[in-house]
Structure 1
Amino acid sequence: MSATRRKRRKGKKKSSERPTRWKWILALCCGLALACIAVVNHFLFHKCTHYGIKIPAGYHTHGIDISQYQGKIDWDALCMPQDSDIHISFVYMRASMGMRTDKKFKTNWQEAKAHGIKRGAYLFFHPNKDGVKQAELFIKRVGRLEGCLPPVVDIEKTYRTDKTVLKKRLQDCLNTLHNHYGIRPVVYTYTTFYRDYLGEKFDKYPLWIAHYEREDKPDYINRPWDIWQHSERGKIAGITEFVDFNVLNCNNNIMPCEVCGY
């Protein structure tokens, strides 16, 4: 009886050692796997993050757009080199919205020029108001655009305006700007709005598309784009609020060549 008991005890001891050994091996493997994931994440993804956001790869020209919502801007800080890999080459600023003007436009417009950064102005379009009058207010507010980026009409809300009326007023606005500046304006909107409300009628205009759901390129749209607003949550020195970040499709050449850097 005693010898049998000793054998059984020894057997039990051996069977209890095996699970313990495998637990240690499994724990070690899990630890190594987690370490590998951390290393890959640091070197593969960390380098893609600039200004607090993921910057799409493969684009060389980057810019921001601003309005009075960004508050008072420290232009000295904004225009200082902040990232060795991603340089801000241009800034668009809101000049007017409907029949009102942006409170910070005049200051931002002058400061951008004084600091030597390529600048452009945009009009936030209200479809429930006359398109010609909105363009005329923009022209009065902005003035001449020699050496500046093309004018932009930002349309992203219907304000319960009939689709046909919306298109007519937008076309009136674009025609007025085109006739005055001698350059075709850029249309800014988001992918589904362009698809549902604008479409082929406005395919002849350069397109600035807002789309935040993809990291490679915008989808939901079947036409070329010229500027891609890929994030509205960027952070940059000189501005305390979040900032929209954009990349330029230099292949379409709507910008002066010095902006693209080619």
Structure 2
Amino acid sequence: MPSRNNPVSVVQKRKPVSSTKKKRVSSKTSRTFRKVESKHNRPMSNWLRNVLAVIIIVCFSIIFYYFFVRPYTYRWQTCHGRKEYGVCIPCGYDVHGIDISHYQGKIDWSKLLQNKDTDFPLHFVFMKATEGGDHGDDTFEANFADARDHGFIRGAYHFYIPNTDALKQADFFIRTVKLDSGDLPPVLDVEVSGSKEKKELQKGIKRWLDRVESHYGVKPILYTSYKFKTKYLNDSIFNTYPYWIAHYYVDSVKYQGKWDFWQHTDVGSVSGIPVNVDLNVFNGTLEELKKMTIK
């Protein structure tokens, strides 16, 4: 039995952990943390990164081709006919012309006249005169006079704004454009529908056409794209007007109805004009074009 002077504690003291054991625990804990961390921060494997890169490149290429290459592939195709003014000229048409506005800048009409001596001479020029109810093209007056002075068959067009009163637009065009004998009929350029429903859009267009026809005594020419015509103006009443179709980068007109002019490109390079210009053909002979003019 122990003595009263040297008692042994009932509770045993905890032995201190050796430094070696501490190191083993610390090392094990560190490895566990690194393992968990590596699961979350493990770098993407090379094959997965390469697959994602290929998918991104393919998607980008498809989008780029669809929006920026496909619409213009016709430019790089082999011409089935002849090349002039920097583009393939549609086969089977003898009467060529251009349409211009302030976007073409200052035109050298003497140089432009020289294009009558090419294999595909230019015979007619359409010019933008007005837009909406109060906006006039600031080059129209000078260009319209120069076209007549240099012997071109000339025409004038109005850019239609659906949300502006049709009669206001028609009267503005009438005040601006004085057509003479030998000029082509007035043109209504319709490219946008605005906020109008189809029937309401058609009603406004018809009001413009009727007002202008009543003033000039000749049916106006209706200009619009192939898609717009078939979507919004496929009513038989609009088929009674001469049709000027806009249809780019194709070697033939796909429209099944009757048409008189075809705007086949917007990237023509013509001597006398500092920038690209729209090129057109007339669906007939030069004599037939002259018969179409105002008497």
Shorter-chain TM range is 0.7 to 0.9
Amino acid at match of 1:190: S
**Alignment CA distance shift 1:195-1:81 (3 Å):** closer
1:67-108: CA deviations, max 9, x gaps?
011011111111114653100000000000112111100010
**Aligned with 1:49 (options 57, 64, 83):** 83
Work out whether residues 95 and 286 of structure 2, in 8 Å CA contact, stay in contact via their aligned partners in 1.
no
Q: Report SS of the residue matched to 2:98.
A: strand
**Aligned with 2:98 (options 64, 69, 72):** 64
Q: Report SS of the residue matched to 2:212.
A: helix
Q: Report SS of the residue matched to 1:224.
A: coil
Q: Report SS of the residue matched to 1:228.
A: strand
How many correspondences in the alignment? Answer: 214
1:7-57: CA deviations, max 9, x gaps?
xxxxxxxxxxxxxxxxxxxxxxxxxxxxxxxxxxxxx84961100011001
Instruction: Provide the residue aligned with 1:196 in structure 2.
Output: 231
Instruction: Provide the residue aligned with 1:241 in structure 2.
Output: 275
Which stretch shifts more, 87-96 or 199-208?
A: 199-208
Q: Distance in 2 between matches of 1:250 and 1:185?
A: 18
Work out whether residues 81 and 91 of structure 2, in 8 Å CA contact, stay in contact via their aligned partners in 1.
no
Work out whether residues 62 and 246 of structure 1, in 8 Å CA contact, stay in contact via their aligned partners in 2.
yes
Deviation at 1:170, TM superposition (A): 0.3
**Alignment CA distance shift 1:104-1:184 (3 Å):** same
Matched, 1:105 2:140: yes
Q: Distance in 2 between matches of 1:46 and 1:247?
A: 17
Matched, 1:116 2:175: no
Matched, 1:91 2:128: no
Instruction: Provide the residue aligned with 2:51 in structure 1.
Output: none
Matched, 1:178 2:213: yes
Task: Return the TM-score normalized by structure 2.
Answer: 0.69
Q: Report SS of the residue matched to 1:239.
A: coil
Instruction: Provide the residue aligned with 2:203 in structure 1.
Output: 168
Q: Distance in 2 between matches of 1:84 and 1:155?
A: 32
Instruction: Provide the residue aligned with 1:210 in structure 2.
Output: 246
Identity of aligned residues (%): 42
Q: Report SS of the residue matched to 2:94.
A: coil
Work out whether residues 145 and 181 of structure 1, in 8 Å CA contact, stay in contact via their aligned partners in 2.
no
Q: Report SS of the residue matched to 2:237.
A: helix
Work out whether residues 115 and 271 of structure 2, in 8 Å CA contact, stay in contact via their aligned partners in 1.
no
Matched, 1:229 2:229: no
**Alignment CA distance shift 1:47-1:102 (3 Å):** same
Q: Report SS of the residue matched to 1:255.
A: helix
Q: Distance in 2 between matches of 1:236 and 1:125?
A: 27
Q: Distance in 1 between matches of 2:279 and 2:185?
A: 18
Matched, 1:155 2:185: no
Deviation at 1:146, TM superposition (A): 2.1
Deviation at 1:143, TM superposition (A): 1.5
Instruction: Provide the residue aligned with 2:30 in structure 1.
Output: none
Deviation at 1:195, TM superposition (A): 0.4
Matched, 1:132 2:164: no
Runs of 5+ in structure 2 lacking a partner? 1-77
**Alignment CA distance shift 1:56-1:193 (3 Å):** same
Deviation at 1:155, TM superposition (A): 0.2
Q: Distance in 1 between matches of 2:111 and 2:117?
A: 12
RMSD: 2.1
